[in-house]
Amino acid sequence: MKRPPKDTEESARRISRRAMLMGGAQMAFAGVLVLRMRQLQLGQSEEFRLLAEENRINIRLLPPSRGLIADRNGNLLAQNVQNYRIVLVREDAGEPRAALERLAQLIPLTADEIDRAERDIMRHRPFVPVTIADQLNWEEVARVAANAPALPGITPEVGLSRFYPFGAEFAHTVGYVGPVSERDLEARENPDPLLMIPRFQIGKIGVEREYEDILRGSAGHRRIEVNAVGREMRELDRQEGDAGANVQLTLDRALQAFTLARLGEDSAAAAVIEVQTGNILALASAPSFDPNLFVRGISVADFAALRDNDHRPMSNKTVQGAYPPGSTFKPVTALAAFDARLATPDERVFCPGYIEVSNRRFHCWNRGGHGRVNLTSALAESCDVYFYEMAQRVGIDRINAMAERMGLGFRYELPLSGISSGLNPSREWKRERRDAEWVVGDTINASIGQGYVLTTPLQLAVMTARIATGRAILPRLVHAIDDVEQPVPEYPQLGLDPAALAQVQRGMWEVSNSNRGTAYGSRIVSADLRMAGKTGTSQVFSITAAERAAGIRRQDQLPWNRRDHALFICYAPDTDPRYAVSVVVEHGGGGSSVAAPIARDIILAAQNGGLPPVEAYPAPQRNRIESMIRAISDQIGPAATPETGRRRA
C-alpha cells in the first residue's frame, strides 16, 4: 500500500519520538541496574565476601587418640588398636545392593548385615561415606584393596578403636567405652563438639568414664573447602589434636588376675590394698564380663544374659555392693569401748551363750557359750556376747564415731562408677530414714555388724589397713597421669590408744594363728608371711520357723539367695603389715570356711608377688592347694591380642 509522503514523514517522526522516549526509559533502567551493582559490589562487598567464605569453609574435627590406661607395672589395660573398616560411597558405588553383594564375595557379610548396610546407605546423602563393615583383619582388607577396580566406591579405611587386652579382669575398674548416647549428651552442660561425631566413643563406666575428660584429649581439626551440598572439595589445612593423657593405675595386673580367678564362679568381691599407701592393688568383682563386647556393640542376647544373671556380673561389688559386715565389724566395737575407757582389753566377760536385754534374748553364735572371754579370745573365737556387753556400755554414738574413724560409712573419692557409701547408722539416721527412735537392740545388732550396718568390700579393706597401721589410710587408684606421679598423702594418725590397738591386732592374729581361732584352718605357716584377720558371717535372712519345722538346720539346705554372706578381712605380714585384704562371698556360707581360704591365697599371692608359695600352707593342705594354684595359673592367660576378622556366620 502506498502512502502519501506526508504520512511517512509523520510516521517516522512519531516513531523517532517514541523511540527516544522508550530508549531513554531503558537507559534509565540500565542506570538503576548499575546503581544496584554499585550498592552490592562496592558498598556491601565486604559483607558478602565474608558470607562467601563462611559458605566455602567447613571445619571437620579430627578425633584425638584416647589416653592409654596401664597398671602399676606398665601393662596396658586399655589400648587403642587399628580398626580396619570398609566404607562405601553410594554415588561412586552405583546400586548399593549389587555393590554389597560383590563385596560379600570377598569378606563374610551376613544377609542381615547387608540389609542393615543398605538401609544405612540409603539414609545418607549419596556422597557420604558409610561404614558397612568393621573389625576386619589385614587379609580381608588386602582382599578388598586388591579388588579395588571391581569395587568402585568401596574403600578400606583405618581408624582407632579401644581394646582391653585383659578382658574381664578389669571390666569393673577400668570400665569400657561405647558410642555417645543421647543421655550422655543431655548430661553435659556444654558438650565437647567431638561428642557429636557419629560413632564417637566415650567412657561408660569405671575409670574410662570418670576420667573421660582426661583420657579423651582435645580435638584437632581440618579446614576443608566444601561445595553447596557439603561435599569435601579439598583440604585447606590440618591441625592434629592432642592425644588424651595416659593414666597409670595402682592396680597390679598379676594380682588382679589371680584374685578374680580365685573368686571363681561365686558371686564375690575382693579388695587388696597396700596398708601404708592405700594403693589399691586388686579390686575384683566376680563374675565379670568382657568389656570388649561393649566396644563393638553388644548383641541383644549377650546383654540380656548379663542383665538377667542373678550373680550380677555388671555390678562392681567391691564398691557398689553394701553388705552387713558381720563379725568383721567387731574390732570397731572393741576400739570404741577402749577409746572411751569404758573397758580394758584384759577385762573378762562371761558368755553363757546369750544375753537378755529389755526382755529380749540375743544369742551368741555358739549357743553353748564361750565362758569367760577377754578381748583377744572374744575376737579369736568371735564371741558375740562380749561385744553385746561392750555395745551396751559405749552406745551407738561412740560406735558410729569409731566406724567413721575406721573409714566406714562414707564415699571414697575414686574414679570408679557408682561408689556406695555403705551405711554407718546413727540415731539421727534412724530418725530421719526410718522415722523411729534408736533402741538398745539396734546397738547390740550393730556391735556385731548386723542390723543396719552396711559396708562395701573396699571399705572393709580400708578398715583393715587402718587397724594394721593406726593411721587414716584412704584408698588410691591412680598412680600417675601422663607419667606425673600423683603424690601419696601423709596419712594422719588415728589417735587410738596404742595398747588397745595392739590388743585388737593380737586378737586378729589369734583368729588365724591360735588353734582356738575361727580361721585357724586358713593359717599361714611361714613366719614372715603370717596374717592377722577376722572372719564374718553375716545373716541375710533368718531361718524361718516354717523352714526350721521343715527340717532345715544348716545354711546349705537353704536356697542360694537366702544363705549367709561369708566375709574375711586380714592383713599381713603380722609384724610389719604391708597388705590388707577383704573378701566377701555373697551367700557363700561361713566366713571361716569360705572367705578365709580365699583371702589367705590372695594375701599370699600379694606378698609373694606372683602365685602363693605352697610352703606357706600347713603341710596337710599342700597337695590340695598345689593343684588349685595350678588350675588357677592355667586359667590366667597372657594379654589378648585384638580379635580381628569377621566372625563367620
Partner 1 sequence: MSYLEYNVKRSPSGLRKVLYVNWVLVLLLSAVACVGFLQLYSVSGGDFSRWAEPQMQRFALSITVMFVIAFVPLWFWRSMAGMAYAVSVLLLLGVEFFGSIGMGAQRWLELGPIRLQPSEMTKITVIMAIAAYYDWLDIRKVSHPLWVGVALLIILVPAFLVVKQPDLGTALLIIGGGGMVMFFAGVSLWYFGGVIALVVGLISVVFASRGTSWQLLHDYQFRRIDTFLDPSLDPLGTSYHINQAMIALGSGGLSGRGFMQGTQSRLNFLPEKQTDFIFNTLAEEFGFIGGVFLLALYVGIIVTCVVAAMQSRNRFAALLILGIASNFFLYFAVNMAMVMGLAPVVGVPLPLVSYGGSAMLMILIGFGLVQSACIHRPRERA
Q: Among residue numbers 230 through 269, which ones bind partner 1 (CB under 8 A)?
A: 233
- In the complex, the smallest distance separating the C-beta of residue 413 from partner 1, rounded to whole angstroms, is 51
Q: Which long-range contacts (CB under 8 A, 24 or more apart) does 126-129 make?
A: 126/89, 126/90, 126/91, 127/89, 127/90, 127/91, 127/229, 127/230, 127/231, 128/89, 128/90, 129/87, 129/88, 129/89, 129/155, 129/157
Phi-psi region of 110 (alpha: psi -120 to 50; beta: other; left: phi over 0): beta
Is cis: bond before 287, omega within 30 of 0?
yes
Residue 591 to residue 329: CA distance in whole angstroms: 13
- In the complex, the smallest distance separating the C-beta of residue 128 from partner 1, rounded to whole angstroms, is 16
Residue 283, strand partner residues? 271
Cβ partners under 8 Å of residue 571, min gap 6: 275, 464, 465, 467, 468, 508, 531, 532, 533, 577, 578, 579, 580, 581, 603
- In the complex, the smallest distance separating the C-beta of residue 47 from partner 1, rounded to whole angstroms, is 7
| Of 15 and 98, CB closest to partner 1 | 15
Is residue 98 within the footprint of partner 1 (CB under 8 A)? no
The interface region with partner 1, picked from 21-29, 68-76, 111-119, 547-555 by CB under 8 A, is: 21-29
Burial of 228 (0-12, 13-18, 19+ CB in 10 A): exposed
Phi-psi region of 542 (alpha: psi -120 to 50; beta: other; left: phi over 0): beta
Interface residue with partner 1, options 229, 301, 545, 619 (CB under 8 A): 229
Burial of 495 (0-12, 13-18, 19+ CB in 10 A): exposed
The one-letter amino acid code at 476 reads: R
The interface region with partner 1, picked from 3-11, 290-298, 365-373, 548-556 by CB under 8 A, is: 3-11
Is residue 59 within the footprint of partner 1 (CB under 8 A)? no
Interface residue with partner 1, options 52, 146, 196, 236 (CB under 8 A): 52
Is residue 125 within the footprint of partner 1 (CB under 8 A)? no
Phi-psi region of 321 (alpha: psi -120 to 50; beta: other; left: phi over 0): beta
Helix (H, G, I), strand (E, B) or coil at 509: helix
Count of residues in contact with partner 1, rule CB under 8 A = 46
Interface residue with partner 1, options 74, 183, 186, 228 (CB under 8 A): 228
| Of 25 and 148, CB closest to partner 1 | 25
Is cis: bond before 425, omega within 30 of 0?
no
Cβ atoms within 10 Å of 368's Cβ, excluding its own: 9
Is residue 306 within the footprint of partner 1 (CB under 8 A)? no
The interface region with partner 1, picked from 43-51, 164-172, 507-515, 530-538 by CB under 8 A, is: 43-51
Interface residue with partner 1, options 128, 226, 322, 525 (CB under 8 A): 226
Burial of 108 (0-12, 13-18, 19+ CB in 10 A): middle
| Of 15 and 527, CB closest to partner 1 | 15
- In the complex, the smallest distance separating the C-beta of residue 27 from partner 1, rounded to whole angstroms, is 7
φ, ψ dihedrals at 121, nearest 5°: -60, -45
Interface residue with partner 1, options 113, 120, 192, 225 (CB under 8 A): 225
The interface region with partner 1, picked from 1-9, 333-341, 463-471, 626-634 by CB under 8 A, is: 1-9
The reply to whether 327 belongs to the active site is yes
Is residue 196 within the footprint of partner 1 (CB under 8 A)? no
Is residue 45 within the footprint of partner 1 (CB under 8 A)? yes
- In the complex, the smallest distance separating the C-beta of residue 147 from partner 1, rounded to whole angstroms, is 31
- In the complex, the smallest distance separating the C-beta of residue 130 from partner 1, rounded to whole angstroms, is 22
Candidate list 161, 285, 288, 327, residue with the active-site label: 327
Is residue 105 within the footprint of partner 1 (CB under 8 A)? no
Cβ partners under 8 Å of residue 335, min gap 6: 402, 406, 496, 500, 501, 504
| Of 38 and 124, CB closest to partner 1 | 38
Is residue 42 within the footprint of partner 1 (CB under 8 A)? yes
Q: Among residue numbers 552 through 611, which ones bind partner 1 (CB under 8 A)?
A: none
What residues are annotated to the active site?
Answer: 327
Residues in contact with partner 1 by CB under 8 A are: 1-3, 5, 7-8, 10-12, 14-16, 18-20, 22-23, 26-27, 29-30, 32-34, 36-38, 40-42, 44-45, 47-49, 51-53, 55-56, 225-229, 233
